[in-house]
Every structure is written in structure tokens, then in C-alpha cells.
Homo-oligomer: A and B are copies of this chain.
Amino acid sequence: MHDTVTISEVAPRDGLQSVGPFLATEAKIALVAALHEAGLRRAEIGSFVSPKAIPQMADTPAVLAAAKRLPDFECTVLVPNRRGFEAALEHRPHRIGLFMSVTESHNKANVNRTREESFADLSAITREALEQGFKVRFNLSCCFHCPFEGVVPEATTLDWVGRAAALDPNIEIAICDTTGNAAPDQVGRIFRQAMASWGDRFAFHGHDTYGMGVANVAAAFAAGCQVFDSAAGGIGGCPFAPGATGNVATEDVAWLFKRMGIATGIDIAALLKAADAAAAVPGAVPGGRLRAVPAVRNI
């Protein structure tokens, strides 16, 4: 197993995207700065999406500009389509995040396209993005469970993982538990098979909807995964996945790895302050457990 892991903070995007009212740009920038101050070196800053579809992400260019001034900080912005890619070309995040679902019904609910349509578009954008010097994250949603189709056959997930992996050896592929319904045995099996077939290029994106978030992160790590998405304060959830709530909390994931002796570069005390700020965002529904533990406030 690895002795270091990378945590990619997603509170500014996945955490906030469903939250209303609009959080002032300065508050978003302050949250990103607090996360960087806590030692996080990678974050999903926002989304180049229509402000009509997701009003909270309307100021992504301004938040990204501020985030890019933080030293040693890799900034990802989600790109849902070609229009989003054009915004990426203008505002230059370090990495673009593409996404599609491995189930037809969730892909249609989320982006109103078939999987084949999405994959064709994202394949073209991937090629252009690599040519233009972007890093690419290819997110596959609903890899374990779909809000409309239930438990996803492992062959379906691995088929799409393989197709994404074949696009280019230099893209990172996130295997996402969008609804929080994954179980650790399932996570372990998928990651072991994906890594055995396509190497060490996968990330795990998990939710803690049913309290399985940390167990699933531990299972992905045990299978060899070393990149994990999480949101400070456990905020977040997909607006187009009914019942899906909080991302697994960054502070819970950081605590897990601290206890396992795996380096994350994170200062727990500073992270708890950032997590408190994320949890206090008006309209956000906080999750996670570590913030409620008195003992860790004195470490």
C-alpha cells in the first residue's frame, strides 16, 4: 500500500453546487484559502456550467483566479460540455473535470444525453484538452449504485472504466459513489479489477449518505487507490440524484489516514476550522463526524 495519499477537496464545487442562497464570491475565496492553509494541495474549485442550471457556480472564474494565486495548489474546474471547455480555455484551470454516468437513466437525468452521446463528446474534449496542456479528470458517476436502476452490475462499471482508460494513459479516472450506497466489498472489488487492468490512475469519489463513506474510502485505499475526493464539513450532494447527500467529510478522511500513518499533508486543527466554515455556509447541510468530537479540538 502507498504511504501517501492525495485528497482533492470538493467543497467549493460538489459541496456548494446544490446550496442556496448564493454564497458571496469573497466567502468562497476565503473557504478555498482556508482549505489551502490546512494543507490541501488540490481542489475542485467550481464548474463552467450555465448559471441558469447551477446559479451557485456563476462566479467560478473569479474563485478560480484567486485559487490559482495560492502556491502549490492544483485547481480543477468541472466542464460539462463544449461550452464549458471554451470557458476552460479562457480561464485556464490546471485540470478540467469531465463527467458522465455509467447508467443510462442517471446520465439522462443529469445531462439529458445518452451515455454514448456523452462519451463521444467527452472523448473529443479529452483529446483537445490534453493538446491544450490541461490535466484531465474523467469522472464516472453511479459506478456502484444508481438512484434509478439500483445496484450497478460490476461489468457495466468496468466496461465504462475501460473505455475511459483507453482514451489516453495520462488521464485520471474517478470511480464515483454518487448516492452513498456503495459497500466496501464492492468498492474493493471494482478498484482491484480496475487497477489490475489499467494501472494506478484512479480516484475514489464517495458520499457518506448512509454512513459508509469512511469505510468505502478505507476499502478503496486497501485496494491501492491513492486519490480521494472529499468535502470539508461533509457538505454536498448531486442535485440530480434523489436522496444523495453529503460528500464524505475531508476531516473524517484526513483522520482515517492520520490514524493509519498515511501522509496527507493536512493539519487537522486548521482543517477543522475550514470545515466549520464550510458547515456554516447558509443553506448547507453539514455531515461527517469528526467536528463533533471534543477530544480532537485539543490535538
Contacts and interface: CB of A to CB of B under 8 A. Distances in A.
Most central of A182, A183, A188 by chain B CB within 10 Å: A183
Contact of A218 (B1, B215, B261): B215
A185 B293 contact: no
A184 B214 CA distance: 10
Interface of A is mostly: helix
Contact of A243 (B218, B289, B295): B295
Contacts of A289: 208, 210-211, 289
Contact of A183 (B1, B182, B259, B295): B259
A219 interface: yes
Interface string A181-215: 11111101000000000000000000011111011
Interface string A204-234: 0000111110110111001000000000000
Interface in A170-190: 181-186, 188
B219 A290 contact: no
Interface of A: 1, 181-186, 188, 208-212, 214-215, 217-219, 222, 243, 245, 252, 255-256, 259-261, 288-290, 293-296
Nearest to A255: B210
B259 A209 contact: no
Nearest to A258: B183
A185 B260 contact: yes
A184 B223 CA distance: 13
30 contacts: A181-B259, A182-B259, A183-B256, A183-B261, A184-B218, A184-B256, A185-B218, A186-B260, A188-B222, A208-B289, A210-B259, A210-B290, A210-B293, A210-B295, A210-B296, A211-B214, A211-B255, A211-B288, A211-B289, A211-B293, A212-B214, A212-B256, A214-B214, A218-B218, A218-B219, A219-B222, A222-B222, A243-B294, A243-B295, A245-B293
